[in-house]
Structure 1
Amino acid sequence: MHARRSLAATATAALLLTTAAAGTAAASPAPDSPAPASAEAPGRYLVAGPDTAEERTEIAATGAAVDEVNEDSVVVTAAPGQADAVAGLGHEVTPLPGPGQDGPGALDFPPSDSDYHDYAELTDVVDKTVADHPDIAAKVSVGSSHEGRDLMAVKITSDVATDHDRPEVLFTHSQHAREHLTVEMAVYLLGMLTDDYGTDPRVTEMVDTREIWILPNLNPDGAEHDISDGSYKSWRKNRQPNQGSWSVGTDLNRNWDYNWGCCGGSSSSPSSQTYRGASPESAPEVRQVADFVRSRVVGGEQQITAAIDFHTYGELILWPYGYTYDETGPGMSRDEYDTHAELGRLMAGSNGYTPQQSSDLYITDGTINDWLWGEQRIFNYTFEMYPSSHWGGGFYPGDEIIPRETSRNREAVLDLLGYADCPYRVIDKEDEYC
């Protein structure tokens, strides 16, 4: 998830290599060298006790990633040392079982979860969608991942070859590698917005009056790594090496260039699941998606007016800001906050998620949620999809829930599209702002 239910799993403890020369400067490990045997692999833990956003923020400050927030407990992914630090805050920490596997040697999802789409299968879906609907769907590349995989985008609108003066809406998926259900959400949206065009009046109206951008996987390297040997790794970050450290990866959703690293809502340690990277947009995936969003500024005006970033899990709808507990303040007026909140509540009315400000969970910084609003003035939301808790499958619910849990967001997505021409209409202030 973005701030709460998503985290990276496997990150090894940081180990600095030093040269034997005078001055002992830190050096990067050889790219193909294995991690040292002493490296501590992270695990998942139930932490009993914390019941306020401030307490949850203290837990996140240890470098643990908060996956799930309950009334008086959280679930975290943490290295053993980080789990000890959480216990040192006075909370009861209990290890949880790890994700399952169907056996060694597999190079894909376990057979029991074969309905999930890996990167090659997702590419086939995108290519077929575009081939079957050439008048309303077009494939665009916004860049490539650290390992060279295409960061695909699909533009959906009538007369798709034309750059219309229409409100644009952005849907992003899979910033965090282990959140595979979000890719299925993208697959569902691709089908809904193309196959239902011409037969469903509401879908048809939205495709005729909006330009819709679907980026189905922002972290393909991490997602492929998470399923690479038939055993889910609970991997969160991308696969970019970190200079001077055995720990691999940056948390993409702490790497955005708005209040990056400002407020204790991310970690400076490469071994942390919430490592924010060496600098804002240091992750190539973040930099190139941000460049794409910036490219939609035409004549000084951002054409994208609304967005959803899909994550798992928790069944939540979150809106900015995450970096502060305040509802209003720098960059957020009362009407802007009320518009976010009212539209969030409207969407929650159809999918049954809990609507709230992001920082009601705990403080985060450098997130796409805050960047889209703070830098680009795009009304936007994080959707934390099914399940509501670790006990419902956590990051790895069985593939049988895919149709139910993706279609569950149909009305919410159509609501966002419907208000994209003037989000302030949801608080009856279109005459003032639109």
Structure 2
Amino acid sequence: MRMRMTKRGRRTTTAAALLALALAVPLGAQALAAPADSSPTPTADQRQAPDQYEVSGVRTATERTRLSAQGAAINEVTDHSVVVTADKSLAAKLRKAGYDLTALPAAGRSADVSASAPSDYHSYASMMRAVDTYVAQYPNLLRKQVIGRSYQGRDIIAVKLSSNVAVDENKPEVLFTHNMHAREHLTVEMALYTLRELASQYGRDQRVTRMLDQREIWVIPSINPDGKVYDQDSGRFRMWRKNRQPNSGSSAVGTDINRNWAYRWGCCGGSSGSPGSETYRGPSAHSAPETRVVADFVRSRIVGGKQQISAHIDFHTYGELVLWPYGFTYNDTAPGLTQDDRNAHAAVGQAMARSNGYRAQQSSDLYITDGSIGDWMWGDQKIFSYTFEMYPRSSSGGGFYPPGSVINRETARNKEAVLLLLENADCMYRSIGKEAQYCRS
């Protein structure tokens, strides 16, 4: 998650949101999904659950990068400060280094709003049941497959959405990924919204129908099921970010999956080598099984030497941002990312941001990250890739845990952006007037 606060107004509920509400699977008590994450004695992460702090006097991208390199996960950015997640030991380290930290309200609670309970959101178990319900309801449009398993053995699924779903056709493919960071539960709701909204509107909505006829869409609702279960299923939020993979030689648990990708991994001060850090990159690229599962799936879509996936969004919270590569360098262009590549990324990104009211910018305009999925998607696979930071804009809206009452509004808010990406996916360079140069054989 990465964020910048702005002053744009809130969009109102749309008709699509009302449809989503009518189709939504009811949320009940959250069932534990086996295998359980049990430990005979408290681990370091259980003893020191992270808190959020405002760090004053951090104003520039360079200063934010320097702070992030200390091991803090930056959640929110203003012109004069940032909000970070840190455990008590890291908070003490930052204060010793001269940073001015102010503790913020507990997870899911602020002066303005709070999530009523983790049951506001689908659990991993109820998410899987919801997917099965949609597949049964729309068997000609949806197909679920297990693409691998998490460290603790939970299924990681991809759901294909297309008008001829049983056939692997020669159509542009688009991938949507969600819940890479455990505490970002609104992104799972985004995945479920996309599946039921597009499936239910096929044959009713002209744009949706055309896209399901002309595209193959893949939705991975949860990349990090172990972390999601750990953060949510105890009945209280734990502010957990990483996966649940132990680290050899350390009592600290977990790797930040979004610093673990094998493109410029650990190159540039945009991740941490400390296992206790929120942004720990792992001992090696793709060391997290969840990273390998998704990377292997993406590579499996190479047919006849050509990558079939042309565009991708990785959904996160919070901040209301549309970001594009690269994250590892402040430069707009770099090896493998030409000016035209950058301009096409920006043109489509800006169009999506106009549709949902988010802010559009290059990832590194916030601070440097390395080993991110967006950089890997473009740098390794030449897939146009975006990171969406969903609602809220700031911690005052609930931070990582906004109330369930906003779910339908905030997922429907991205319908137009999803359609825009789908419509551009056959030739992203059309957005800059260079279709003939890049997209015609």
Of 51, 54, 66 in structure 1, the residue corresponding to residue 62 of structure 2 is: 54
Of 179, 183, 199 in structure 1, the residue corresponding to residue 188 of structure 2 is: 183
Distance 1:49 1:337, change over 3 A: same
1:362 aligns with 2:367: yes
Distance 1:63 1:142, change over 3 A: same
Matches within 5 A, 1:210-249: 210-249=215-254
Q: Once structures 1 and 2 are overlaid, which stretch shifts more, 377-386 or 82-91? A: 82-91
Q: Paired residue for 1:27?
A: none
For residues 357-394 of structure 1, give each alpha carbon's deviation from its aligned partner in whole angstroms, at most 9, with x where no partner exists: 00000000000010000000000100000000011110
1:131 aligns with 2:131: no
Q: Distance in 2 between matches of 1:49 and 1:428?
A: 42
- 1:242 deviation in Å? 0.7
For residues 126-168 of structure 1, give each alpha carbon's deviation from its aligned partner in whole angstroms, at most 9, with x where no partner exists: 1111111111110011101111111011001111111000000
Q: Distance in 2 between matches of 1:263 and 1:133?
A: 46
Q: Distance in 1 between matches of 2:403 and 2:280?
A: 29
For residues 376-431 of structure 1, give each alpha carbon's deviation from its aligned partner in whole angstroms, at most 9, with x where no partner exists: 00001000000000111100000000010000000000000000000000001000
Contact 1:281 1:287 in 2 (8 A): yes
What RMSD over aligned residues (CA atoms) do the two structures have, in Å? 2.0
SS in 1 for 2:219: strand
SS in 2 for 1:373: helix
Letter in 1 for 2:158: A
1:75 aligns with 2:83: yes
Q: Once structures 1 and 2 are overlaid, which stretch shifts more, 194-203 or 87-96? A: 87-96
Q: Paired residue for 2:19?
A: none
Contact 1:255 1:286 in 2 (8 A): yes
Q: Distance in 2 between matches of 1:303 and 1:58?
A: 38
- 1:86 deviation in Å? 3.0
Q: Distance in 2 between matches of 1:396 and 1:309?
A: 18
Q: Paired residue for 2:269?
A: 264
Of 91, 109, 122 in structure 1, the residue corresponding to residue 99 of structure 2 is: 91
Q: Distance in 1 between matches of 2:127 and 2:41?
A: 31
Distance 1:97 1:159, change over 3 A: same
Q: Paired residue for 1:415?
A: 420
Letter in 2 for 1:408: R
Of 135, 145, 148 in structure 1, the residue corresponding to residue 150 of structure 2 is: 145
Of 336, 345, 353 in structure 1, the residue corresponding to residue 341 of structure 2 is: 336
Q: Distance in 1 between matches of 2:117 and 2:95?
A: 36
Matches within 5 A, 1:14-413: 32-35=40-43, 40-100=48-108, 112=117, 114-413=119-418
Q: Distance in 2 between matches of 1:248 and 1:96?
A: 24
SS in 2 for 1:76: strand
- 1:32 deviation in Å? 3.8
Contact 2:142 2:161 in 1 (8 A): yes
> How high is the TM-score relative to the length of structure 2?
0.88
Q: Distance in 1 between matches of 2:386 and 2:370?
A: 15
Q: Distance in 2 between matches of 1:380 and 1:409?
A: 16
Contact 1:110 1:231 in 2 (8 A): no
Q: Distance in 2 between matches of 1:173 and 1:402?
A: 15
- 1:115 deviation in Å? 3.8
Q: Distance in 2 between matches of 1:71 and 1:244?
A: 39
Q: Distance in 1 between matches of 2:256 and 2:392?
A: 22
Q: Distance in 2 between matches of 1:291 and 1:3?
A: 29
Distance 1:36 1:294, change over 3 A: closer
SS in 2 for 1:355: strand
Q: Paired residue for 2:26?
A: none
Distance 1:364 1:222, change over 3 A: same
* Unaligned runs of at least 5 residues, structure 2: 6-37
Distance 1:219 1:159, change over 3 A: same
Contact 1:113 1:399 in 2 (8 A): no
- 1:46 deviation in Å? 0.3
Contact 1:110 1:230 in 2 (8 A): no
Q: Distance in 2 between matches of 1:31 and 1:422?
A: 50
Contact 1:270 1:277 in 2 (8 A): yes
* Unaligned runs of at least 5 residues, structure 1: 6-29, 102-108
- 1:42 deviation in Å? 2.7
Letter in 2 for 1:309: D
- 1:85 deviation in Å? 3.6
Contact 1:328 1:334 in 2 (8 A): yes
For residues 19-39 of structure 1, give each alpha carbon's deviation from its aligned partner in whole angstroms, at most 9, with x where no partner exists: xxxxxxxxxxx9644336996
Distance 1:326 1:111, change over 3 A: closer
- 1:82 deviation in Å? 2.4
Distance 1:173 1:36, change over 3 A: closer
SS in 1 for 2:381: coil
Q: Distance in 2 between matches of 1:213 and 1:171?
A: 6
- 1:79 deviation in Å? 2.4
Q: Once structures 1 and 2 are overlaid, which stretch shifts more, 30-39 or 409-418? A: 30-39
> How high is the TM-score relative to the length of structure 1?
0.89
Contact 1:113 1:398 in 2 (8 A): no
Contact 2:2 2:318 in 1 (8 A): no
Q: Distance in 2 between matches of 1:370 and 1:303?
A: 18
Q: Distance in 2 between matches of 1:422 and 1:395?
A: 34
Contact 2:313 2:386 in 1 (8 A): yes
Distance 1:98 1:148, change over 3 A: same
Contact 2:4 2:78 in 1 (8 A): no
